[in-house]
Amino acid sequence: MVKTNDGSIPRYYVDNLSKEFYLRPAREVRAVFSTNNGALPARTLSPTADMATGRHVYLWCAEDIQNHANSVRKKHWNLMKSMPQPTCWEDLYDYFDCVDLFHHGALNLWNLVCHLVHENKMLRDNLIHGISFEVGMWCDEWLARNHNKTRLRDFSDWGNVLVLFDGSELEEIRQLDPFSQDILRTALAHRQHQLAGQLGLHPPVYPGNTAAAQLHQSNMQNWLGK
């Protein structure tokens, strides 16, 4: 039997949600994660699909949930900063389409959303770490644009990190206080070292990739960077 990522025997749960939940949603399916915030259409399931109730679905372990959570957070941070705690199954339609709900399992995606909400609260409750995470996410978005990887790879004037940026980028970061500029500097230096292939600087594996572990290390600006 194939073991899970954490080495344990796979566990399964019985999905007893009705076919109607997957075939005929009771409210609008926004599915912001599944559709990349509307860039793609929300997918539907065929009524002829094999959707027997009582099916056994693989239950994600803590490591699975964390890995999925980090992927969602890195890609959809701006969509999920203020996501509320779900209160009913139908709340999942805000994030996932019916295909994802059925194939990943509604309970797994429920646990994923609850975990993301919990991590958001941790970031809000730790203001400095929350700022660090925001700076790190900004660095990752900046690095993905144009030829910024080359610009960062060749940069050396760490005493004045703002000269790395052009006019439009400076508008985004002009208001950073000295503390936040220091975070920006360390986050960019970390990513420069990653681009150079330095060992030991890639995102850690579970449980080192959890929000709690990164909070403990005061390393939120590099949590999801790679």
Binning pLDDT at 50, 70 and 90, where does residue 164 land? very high
User: How far apart are the two ends of the chain, measured CA to CA in Å?
Assistant: 32
Checking if the pLDDT of 21 tops 80, the result is yes
Instruction: For 96-122, write each residue's pLDDT tens digit.
Output: 999 999 999 999 999 999 999 999 998
Instruction: For 61-77, write each residue's pLDDT tens digit.
Output: 999 999 999 999 999 99
CA torsion 84-215-205-13 (nearest 10°) is -30
54 or 13, higher pLDDT = 13
**Phi-psi sector, 120: left (phi>0), alpha (psi -120 to 50), beta:** alpha
* Chain mean position to CA 52: 31
pTM: 0.74
What mean pLDDT is predicted for residues 126-141?
A: 89
Predicted local distance difference test score (pLDDT) of residue 197: 80
Give me the residue label for tokens 């975990």: 115
Predicted local distance difference test score (pLDDT) of residue 2: 35
Predicted local distance difference test score (pLDDT) of residue 118: 95
**Mean per-residue pLDDT of the chain:** 87
